[in-house]
Each structure stands twice: as structure tokens, then as C-alpha cells.
Amino acid sequence: MTLSANRLSDPAVRALVTALNDNDEQAFFDALTPDATMSDDGSDRDLREWCDREIFATRGHIDVRSESHQGLSLVADYRNDTWGEMRTRWRFTVENGKVSRFETGQA
């Protein structure tokens, strides 16, 4: 069973996941702080380059399976045109209503 993005507990995470699933690059980056950072499988990455490659150019999509830590941690099935589908984990840091960091990787 999946959780609808519009039912996620944290508003900043909800905005980010909704924008990702809508392939709305502007809304996605609007949900982040200007100095936001991210990591993939434990390695820090260039956020814009990673998002272009792993989300927007490849039609990334998150189907959330569960959330914890007041909505700041997700387990989800993530898919894109490059890698297909895989179970992933996502952890978010939120500051002033926007995501300042996210960490993702295989679950």
C-alpha cells in the first residue's frame, strides 16, 4: 500500500515529493532552501546535477510506502527511466518550512 503524497505529515516534504511526482522542477527547487544539500547512498552530490539526472531528465517518481519521524523519514519505491524501480529510503532536514537537506539511498 502506498501513501498519497498529499497525505504526508510534513508540509515541506509533502511539497517536495508532490513536485517531484509532478515533474515540476520549479516547484521542486522552490521547496528547497537556497543552500540545500543532498546525498545519495552516503555520498554528497551536486544537488542540481543529481536532480537533473536522476529526477527530471528521467521522469523520477516516488511511491511512498511508509513515513516516520514526524514525516521526515520515508521508505518508498522510487523509479526513473534509467534505473527502473527500487526500494529507497529518504531522510529530510527541514528549516523554516523548506527542505535544507535530503539523503537518499537503497533501502
How confident is the model over 21-74, as pLDDT tens digits? 999 999 999 999 999 999 999 999 999 999 999 999 999 999 999 999 999 999
> What H or E segment, with its residue span, contains residue 30?
helix 25-30
| Paired strand residues for 14 | none
Query: Whole-angstrom Cα distance, residue 57 to residue 75?
Result: 23
pLDDT band at 1 (very low <50, low <70, confident <90, very high): confident
Distance between terminal CA atoms of the chain? 17
| pTM (two decimals) | 0.94
User: Exposed, middle or buried by CB within 10 Å (0-12, 13-18, 19+), for 16?
Assistant: buried
Cell 504526508 locates to 8
State phi, psi for 102 to the nearest 5 degrees.
-135, 145
Domain 5-106, CATH: 3.10.450.50
Does the structure show a pLDDT above 80 at 5? yes
